[in-house]
Amino acid sequence: MGTETPKISVVTICKNSERTIESTIKSVIAQNYENKEYIVIDGLSVDSTKEIIERYKYAINTLVSESDEGISDAFNKGIRRTTGDILLILNSDDVLIQDSFSRIAKIWSETPNCDIICGGITYFDPEVEAYYSRVPKLEDVFKYMSVFHPSMYVSMEAYRKIGVYMPQYKLAMDCEWVHRAINKGLKFVTTDEPLAVMNTCGRSQQDFARSLNEFRISAISNGANWFVASFYFIQQLVFKSLMKVALIKKMKLRAR
Let me know: does 100 contact 174? Beta carbons within 8 Å: no
Let me know: does 195 contact 100? Beta carbons within 8 Å: yes
Q: What pLDDT does residue 53 have?
A: 98
Q: What pLDDT does residue 130 have?
A: 73
Let me know: does 125 contact 200? Beta carbons within 8 Å: yes
209-228, pLDDT tens digit by residue? Answer: 899 999 999 999 999 999 88
State the pTM of this model: 0.89
Residue extents of the structural domains in the chain: 8-255
* d(C-alpha 13, C-alpha 68), whole Å: 11
Q: What pLDDT does residue 60 have?
A: 98
Let me know: does 121 contact 146? Beta carbons within 8 Å: no
pLDDT, block means (10 residues), the chain with 256 residues = 79 96 98 97 97 97 96 97 97 96 96 96 79 94 94 98 97 97 97 93 67 94 92 80 53 52
Let me know: does 242 contact 208? Beta carbons within 8 Å: no
Domain 8-255: which CATH number of 3.90.550.10, 3.20.20.70, 3.40.50.300, 3.30.230.10:
3.90.550.10
Torsion 126-128-129-131 (CA) sign: negative
Q: What pLDDT does residue 245 have?
A: 46
48-72, pLDDT tens digit by residue? Answer: 999 999 999 999 999 999 999 999 9
